[in-house]
């Protein structure tokens, strides 16, 4: 059974479409390693069309003031949202993430703007809310804002509740990937509706493809994948796929995202394959044991728990060979690696408090 992988899709659009017009998104990201991805004009056009479709699920009013808090490196949704909202006649403020415009300065600008809509990563929006509260601006912002759009990372129930309580408004979550953007949007009933551009299925137990149920999300689209012989794109996201008659009146399949099939996590803007990190550390030649704790709320925190035998400086250097985000090393005097029900060591502990 053959699927389009992320690597194959990037290779395909970069090798086949580069003469047909489009945008090259380039960035060093947070890794210091330069990378570029081409998005053909047709991909951009259809992403904008799907975003307009998904925004019909929200209470978006005419002539809204919209602040975008996504970065503009290798994250095309920031561009799609900026361009699409502008085309729809709204006033757009692309303030970006905390790297290009400091968060403390940004909250002052937010207070000057008093936006109707804020769009961004849930963890970063929560950080901005905390600064707004500290600076005494939160009350004015919450009195004006109509709703929030989140995306780009898993929205946990804890973060959702905190943002909605602080801003006294509702979040409309969105789901999309760099390879196939604008996949699904949340309606007023809290369901993530798939765009009509996609046909969705789930892969169960890596063997069976089903129309509905729990499994890895597969996407097909004649419009998006028309030039690719391998029709199904495997997202690696584990979802519950359903076909319900939602009370909002938007009749498409819905998904509920349960998590990732593998240990790929986005931490503070950097996508890390933690399986590869484990492999790198295990073959780095230091003594002692360790495990990784990833806390997703209220903001990404990564703790490396190590036994007393570990050479801290050597361990830290080996981690920094792979990651660029800040992390903590915790020395556990009574070190023990947690085990699963099958008695296998659980080397990665993810706390998303869903």
> Stretch 63-88: mean pLDDT, rounded?
89
- How much is the average pLDDT of 99-125? 90
Between CA 336 and CA 338, with CA 337 as vertex, the angle to 5 degrees is 115
What pLDDT score was predicted for residue 233?
A: 84
State residue 324's pLDDT score.
Answer: 85
User: What global pTM score does this model have?
Assistant: 0.75
Given a contact cutoff of 8 angstroms between Cβ atoms, the answer to whether 323 and 267 are in contact is yes
Q: Is the pLDDT assigned to residue 50 strictly greater than 50?
A: yes
pLDDT (tens digit per residue) in 247-294: 998 888 999 987 767 677 778 767 787 877 887 887 677 677 888 888
pLDDT of 337 higher than 50: yes
Domains and CATH numbers, the chain: 6-196+245-258 (3.40.50.12780), 264-351 (3.30.300.30)
Strands 147-150 and 65-68: unpaired
* 93-97, 146-150, 202-206, 218-222: the lowest-pLDDT one: 218-222
Q: Which residues contact 193 (CB under 8 A, 6 or more apart)?
A: 54, 57, 184, 185, 186, 187, 246, 250, 252, 253, 254
pLDDT band for 73, please (50, 70, 90 cuts).
Answer: confident
Q: How far apart are CA 66 and CA 78, in angstroms?
A: 12
The model's confidence at residue 116, banded by pLDDT at 50, 70 and 90, is: very high
Most confident of 40-44, 156-160, 229-233, 312-316: 312-316
Residue 212 φ/ψ, nearest 5 degrees: -145, 165
């Amino acid at each position: 059974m053959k699927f389009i992988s992320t690597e194959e899709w990037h290779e395909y659009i970069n090798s086949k479409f580069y003469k047909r017009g489009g945008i090259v998104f380039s960035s060093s990201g947070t890794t210091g390693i330069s990378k570029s991805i081409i998005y053909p004009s047709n991909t951009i056009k259809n992403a904008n069309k799907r975003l307009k479709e998904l925004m019909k699920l929200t209470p978006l009013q005419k002539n809204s003031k919209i602040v975008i808090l996504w970065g503009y490196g290798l994250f095309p949704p920031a561009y799609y949202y900026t361009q699409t909202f502008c085309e729809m006649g709204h006033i757009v403020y692309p303030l970006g993430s905390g790297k290009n415009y400091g968060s403390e300065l940004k909250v002052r600008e937010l207070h000057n703007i008093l936006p109707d809509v804020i769009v961004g990563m849930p963890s970063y929006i929560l950080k901005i809310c905390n600064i707004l509260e500290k600076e005494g601006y939160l009350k004015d912002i919450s009195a004006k804002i109509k709703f929030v759009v989140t995306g780009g990372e898993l929205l946990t129930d804890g973060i959702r509740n905190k943002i909605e309580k602080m801003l006294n408004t509702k979040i409309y979550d969105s789901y999309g990937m760099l390879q196939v953007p604008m996949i699904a949007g949340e309606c007023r009933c809290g369901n993530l509706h798939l765009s009509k551009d996609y046909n969705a299925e789930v892969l169960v137990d890596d063997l069976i493809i089903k129309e509905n149920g729990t499994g890895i999300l597969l996407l097909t689209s004649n419009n998006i994948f028309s030039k690719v012989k391998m029709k199904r794109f495997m997202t690696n996201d584990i979802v519950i796929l359903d076909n319900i008659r939602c009370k909002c009146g938007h009749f498409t399949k819905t998904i509920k995202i349960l998590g990732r099939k593998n240990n790929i996590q986005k931490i503070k803007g950097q996508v890390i394959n933690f399986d590869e990190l484990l492999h790198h550390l295990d073959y780095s030649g230091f003594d002692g044991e360790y495990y990784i704790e990833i806390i997703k709320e209220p903001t990404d925190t990564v703790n490396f728990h190590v036994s007393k035998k570990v050479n801290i400086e050597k361990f830290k250097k080996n981690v920094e060979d792979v990651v660029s985000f800040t992390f903590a090393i915790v020395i556990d005097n009574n070190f023990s690696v947690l085990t699963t029900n099958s008695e296998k060591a659980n080397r990665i502990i993810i706390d998303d408090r869903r």
